Amino acid sequence: HQLGKCVIVVTHSKRVADSADAVYTLRHKKLAKA
């Protein structure tokens, strides 16, 4: 946030996802907020 950057990470790891500010899942070919 301090650098004004966005990083998108694609993972199956819950541990990695837990460190994110926002998490989205792919369901039925659409992104949904988890």
Read off the pLDDT of residues 1-34 as tens digits, 9 standing for 90 and up.
Answer: 678 998 999 999 999 999 999 999 999 999 999 8
Residue 20 CB partners (closer than 8 Å, separation 6+): 9
- Residue type present at position 14: K
CB within 8 Å of 5: residues ≥ 6 apart: none
State the residue for tokens 């039925």.
28
17 residue type, one letter: A
pTM value surpassing 0.85: no
Q: Tell me the C-alpha distance between 24 and 10, whole Å.
A: 10
Q: What is residue 9's predicted lDDT score, i.e. its pLDDT? A: 95
Q: Residue 2's pLDDT is what?
A: 78
Domain extent listing, the chain: 1-34
Nearest 5°: phi and psi at 33? -65, 130
